Amino acid sequence: MLGQDSSHRAYVRRMKLRRRQMLQAAAASGSVGLLSFLTACSRTPTASPAASPTSPPAQAIAPANPTAQTSAQPTPVPTIQVTATPTSLPQSSFTTGASPVAGALHLNLASEPDEMDPSRASFVGEIEVIMRVFSNLYTFNEKAQLVPDQAESLPQVSPDGKSITVKLKKGLVWSDGKPLKAADFVYGAKRQLNPVLAGDYAFTLYALEGGQAYNTADPKKTSPADLQKLRDAVGVSAPDDQTIIYKLVAPAPWFLSVLATWNGLPIREDVVTAGGKTEDSRDWIKPGTYIGNGPYVLKTHDPGVQMVFESNPKYVRGEPPIKTVQYYMIKDVTVAFAAYQAGNLDAIGPQILPVSPLIKPSIDGDPTLKEQFQIVSGSSTFYLGFNTKLAPFDNVKVRQAFAAAFDRDTFARDVMKGLALPADQFMPTGFPGHYDDIPVQKFDPAAAKKLLADAGYPDGKGLPEIKASYADTDTNRLIMTAAAAMFQQNLGVKVTLDPIDPKAFSGLLKKQETTPQMYRLGWNQDYPDPQDWYSTVFQSTSTVSHTGWSNKQFDTLTEQADVEIDPKKRDQLYAQAAGILDTEAPVVFTHYAAAPLLLKPRVQGYKLDPFEYFFGQHSLYAMKLTM
């Protein structure tokens, strides 16, 4: 799952963002003011606390000259001042017909979702909404274990691993009371593969027989009859109302986890195509017709302002105790912090727009706020991505130079204020797929300068203009300004910053031809398997990273690992692929996210969990509001 905001996070169940009920535009105290986020320092980088003391030494992404092989000291980085957004809450920003809903849990969605169609979605804010309204066959518990949701039990898998049979629970209904049938899951899967929809996550269903052939067919060059034949050949069927059978191209140990995500969700064909509309219609995505089978129902949607959800009494597990959830859309964490202090917002974080370095000092300085703050290890990785189809990042040495010029330890410590861990490879420490004995991306300014010179740009001379784009939030401004300062200091390269409205930014990242030259993004794990990271994001056929990077060896290794049943062999294949990814550097890994949360005491029974798709998913029946 893609993340693009101040912190994108997320891994198996994830991304939450809470709303903010804004009553009056009360200006809260505790202005952040001017924040010095990069300090001149000459300390030795702090090792990641999770590093294994017995692991082999990490390799640099490219050999440095002998004099640069000593432990890389962070080069002095100029102190830079950035003016944070005032913590006052301008009343004019929240008077567009929106008012707080009494008795609701008030959360923040950060911005209007670019997409709410389950068959097209890919970003964390989108999934936050979708998974409140829809539920899949399975879900993950707080231990990231697969457990039944709409299914009556765990699936039956054939001995060859290529056939999966799922039985539905009896008596399932949609939120409007219409019976939910196995055919609705079949329709949802085939609709997601429809090439006309061009859904970012359709590739997760390529494990199905005929899935890739149907999704990659050109609807402009393929006749309707031939498209229908391709659709009919997709390996998902419903022999009766209670049974779904998935036929796979090859064994896919990871595919069961897909059945716990927003992919292949059941969709109501009669709702989508009402009035003779085509299958790619978005007209149904509004209150009244956005009908799902999940714990909540969308009741109000004022685009760019708020969404209000009411509990679904027909949900298979029963109606959640918190009857109303109201999301506002505040893109800046300093403004959200003001709303929180004023009592108009129940939470900041832990996923979309979490607690950031901009407000952490104010929390630390206030005993009451400090008591309301908590943090756990997160499940996402953030990076600066390159469009490798555009100069100068079509040159691997330029990419390696930027990767070696980024001081991850200083960034995590001084910029992120301890709210992140340095990332030298894609998967976070402790996750399956994180390796201690592969080449990694590490800070080495001497090697960085040599790589840039070897690429033909000594001290940055002759380098094309570099523009770095990002979702325009106060935390992202902080992070990108810091990154630009490091590249200026360690490479002599000026990077022009390009802030973009968050919704527009996520739209740009959905097509290779509109992907910026350099951009800030992150990956939020969808399910606990290396396939969801290496194969999903960086195979050359990926539809979610848009780096344009292609490496045949990486593709071959990950493709083999994806179908390998032997766990040891599978892990070895992914490890080789991970080393290639680090070395080729289509992205600069910057940090692993933590999951920090500021939560009002009125919200009781919530357990901070980075494995959720929406806030409170795993505490749904334990949470209550006390006032």
Please report the pLDDT score of residue 68 as a whole number: 31
Please report the pLDDT score of residue 129 as a whole number: 96
Q: What percent of the chain is modeled with pLDDT above 70? A: 84
Q: How far is CA 381 from CA 28, 209, 405, in A?
A: 32, 32, 18
Of the listed ranges 212-226, 315-329, 371-385, the one predicted with least confidence: 371-385
- Alpha-carbon gap, residue 420 to 412, rounded angstroms: 5
Cis peptide before 350 (omega within 30 of 0): yes
Question: Tens digit of pLDDT for each residue in 112-123?
Answer: 998 999 999 988
Q: If you average pLDDT over residues 222-239, what whole number do you get?
A: 98
Please report the pLDDT score of residue 566 as a whole number: 87
- Alpha-carbon gap, residue 306 to 297, rounded angstroms: 14
Q: What percent of the chain is modeled with pLDDT above 90? A: 70
- Alpha-carbon gap, residue 51 to 434, rounded angstroms: 11
DSSP β-bridge partners for residue 439: 59
Tell me which CATH homologous superfamily contains domain 91-115+286-374+595-625.
Answer: Periplasmic binding protein-like II (3.40.190.10)
Q: Specify the pTM.
A: 0.69
Question: Tens digit of pLDDT for each residue in 75-123?
Answer: 343 343 333 333 333 333 433 346 789 999 999 999 999 899 999 998 8
Nearest to 469 by CA among 485, 480, 460, 482: 480
DSSP line for 36-54: EEE----PPPPPPTT--TT
Q: Could you state, in order of their start, the residue ranges of all structural domains in the chain?
A: 35-82+379-594, 91-115+286-374+595-625, 135-276
CA angle 372, 375, 380 (to 5 degrees): 140
- The matching CATH number, chosen from 3.90.76.10, 3.40.50.10860, 1.20.120.450, 3.20.20.70, for 135-276 is 3.90.76.10
**What does R_g of the chain's alpha carbons equal in angstroms?**
24
SS3 364: helix
pLDDT at 615 over 60: yes
CATH 3.40.50.700 is the classification of domain 35-82+379-594: no
Question: Tens digit of pLDDT for each residue in 46-79?
Answer: 222 232 222 222 333 332 332 333 333 443 433 4
- Tell me which DSSP letter residue 223 carries: -
- Tell me which DSSP letter residue 144 carries: S
Question: Tens digit of pLDDT for each residue in 431-441?
Answer: 889 999 999 99
- Can you point out the beta strands (E) in 134-210? 138-140, 146-148, 156-157, 163-167
DSSP β-bridge partners for residue 524: 380
